[in-house]
Amino acid sequence: MATGGAVQTTKKTALWRQLWLQVLVAIALGAVIGWLNPTLGVKLKPFGDAFIALIRMLIGPVIFCTVVHGIASMGDLKKAGRIGLKALLYFEVVSSLALVIGLVAGHILQPGVGFVATPAAAGAKAVTGFVEKAQADGIVAHLLNIIPTTFVDAFTKGDLLQVLLVSILTGVAIPHAGAGGKKVLEAVEAFSDVFFRIIAIVVTVAPIGALGAMAYTVGAFGPQALVNLAQLVGAFYLTAVLFVLVVLGAVARAHGFHITKLLRYIRDEILVVFGTASSETVLPNLMRKMERAGASEPVVGLVVPTGYSFNLDGTNIYMTLAIIFLAQATNTPLTLGQEMTIIAIAMLTSKGASGVTGAGFITLAATLAIVPQIPITSLAMILGVDRFMSQCRAITNLIGNSVATLVVAKWEGELDTDQLKRALDGAAPETLPIKT
């Protein structure tokens, strides 16, 4: 894992074999199938579910191996703590800015004005499950849930925060375990190589997963789901695009790289996320790509997994924008103080929301459960189009974590800027070495 060198190759991959094009074609084909034959589209859902399940099966072990190896091989544990603190500082500043931008966009674009409505009984019933889960997951319970019942339980449950906890503890312990610790570290490195090779195999079926997921989405909700509540969906996509190009673009420029080139570099991952509406499907591949873009392995191992829980820019924009939409749609006026309270609450409830489809909606329900001014059953009004916003949430989260990784790596002096330039200028990722 840490010793991967450049693979010299001059053979250019044929266009039709490029993953991003295959996924793009699959998404389009899935949309057509769902539109023309909704019944068949719904039946194709297992393809998308299976692909997501395959990737999620590997996320725990990959995160464990990467974080453990990164911390244990770092030697200086103060350095690990310093990287973590810098990452958390970045996350808090940018995530808070995303919350404010979502709030401001809601007031400027006013997607809910003129949409005064009362949630239908059927819709309110559909949202009950989300509300109950949000109310059950209080802040104290959420914090206690970070501690797994057993060491292995963190992996069987697939809870990313739990996996991070046991990974950090293991990485810190290994350097103090003498010769035994060294053997464990070598084993972790070997296991990591195996897991990444498994992922390379699984990713080859990403187009099939994207086709199934998109066919189900359009088949289940119908093409009208793209028209219903179009103002909210459009406002969210517009705000997210502006956030990426303007805010993250400015951050990227300040640290010596261009956001558009970074988007091109991770286009395969963006398209897979768009097709599956889950950023977890590309987490392992994103980590490897960030390493090949010049960020050191220890930085990537700490920042990317942590960012998936603490740096959810897309989810934050969605929450405050959706809350303003619901306030406007239900004719519920909010004072400036109430809006500031919403931001403060959202800063807490957004932490730990994973890249799984629907997690953002649960987080929104958790926020509204603490804000009594807006009837929580009004969530039923946006449940039908949440799937389409979930895609944008996941993509924005993915891009935000990519930028965060490169920024923290540069802050720490762990970014090979020459290699980053080669990567963003179009060099094939497999020809770039992994920086240790």
Instruction: Taking residues 134-161, report their average pLDDT.
Output: 69
CA distance linking residue 159 with residue 136, whole number of Å? 17
> Considering just the CA atoms, what is the radius of gyration of the chain in Å?
21
Nearest Cα residue to 55 out of 214, 211, 212, 201: 201
The tens digit of pLDDT for each residue in 331-363 reads 888 888 888 888 887 776 666 555 444 556 666
CA distance linking residue 382 with residue 52, whole number of Å? 24
Instruction: Taking residues 363-384, report their average pLDDT.
Output: 68
Share of the chain above pLDDT 70, in %: 74
Instruction: Take residue 170 and report the two structure tokens written for it.
Output: 């293991």
What is the pLDDT, as a whole number, of residue 113? 78
CA distance linking residue 294 with residue 288, whole number of Å? 10
The tens digit of pLDDT for each residue in 14-42 reads 666 677 678 778 878 888 888 888 889 88
Angular region, 5: left φ>0, alpha ψ -120 to 50, beta rest: beta
What is the pLDDT, as a whole number, of residue 337? 83
What is the pLDDT, as a whole number, of residue 402? 94
CATH of 16-430, one of 1.50.10.10, 1.25.40.10, 1.10.3860.10, 3.90.850.10: 1.10.3860.10
Q: If 0-12 CB within 10 Å is exposed, 13-18 middle and 19+ buried, where does residue 430 land?
A: middle
Model confidence at 90, in pLDDT bands (50, 70, 90)?
A: very high
The tens digit of pLDDT for each residue in 240-293 reads 999 999 999 999 999 999 999 999 999 989 988 887 777 777 888 898 899 999
Instruction: Taking residues 96-107, report their average pLDDT.
Output: 93
Strand pairing partners for 415? 295
CA distance linking residue 389 with residue 381, whole number of Å? 13
- Average pLDDT of the chain, as a whole number: 78
285 vs 160: which has the higher pLDDT: 285
CA distance linking residue 197 with residue 129, whole number of Å? 38
The tens digit of pLDDT for each residue in 39-61 reads 898 888 888 878 777 877 877 78
Please state which of the ranges 243-247, 373-377, 389-393 shows the lowest mean pLDDT: 373-377
Taking a C-beta distance cutoff of 8 angstroms, is the pair 13, 430 a contact? no
Nearest Cα residue to 321 out of 66, 165, 107: 107
Strand pairing partners for 295? 415
Taking a C-beta distance cutoff of 8 angstroms, is the pair 130, 139 a contact? no
The answer, yes or no, to whether residue 164 has pLDDT greater than 50, is yes
Q: CA distances (Å), 79 to each of 176, 226, 245, 278, in order?
A: 16, 48, 32, 32
Instruction: Taking residues 133-138, report their average pLDDT.
Output: 54
Domain chopping of the chain, boundaries: 16-430
Taking a C-beta distance cutoff of 8 angstroms, is the pair 133, 350 a contact? no
**Stated pTM of the model:** 0.69
Taking a C-beta distance cutoff of 8 angstroms, is the pair 349, 366 a contact? yes
Instruction: Taking residues 410-433, report their average pLDDT.
Output: 85
What is the pLDDT, as a whole number, of residue 311? 84
**3-state SS, residue 415:** strand
Amino acid at 124: A
Q: What is the DSSP string of 287-328?
A: HHHHHHTTB-HHHHHHHHHHHHHH--HHHHHHHHHHHHHHHH
Instruction: Taking residues 176-192, report their average pLDDT.
Output: 83
Cα-Cα-Cα-Cα dihedral sign, residues 197, 204, 273, 359: negative
What's the chain's length in residues?
436
The answer, yes or no, to whether residue 312 has pLDDT greater than 90, is no
Using the 8-state DSSP alphabet, how is residue 17 labeled? G
Max Cα separation, the chain?
Answer: 69
What is the pLDDT, as a whole number, of residue 122? 39
What is the pLDDT, as a whole number, of residue 385? 64
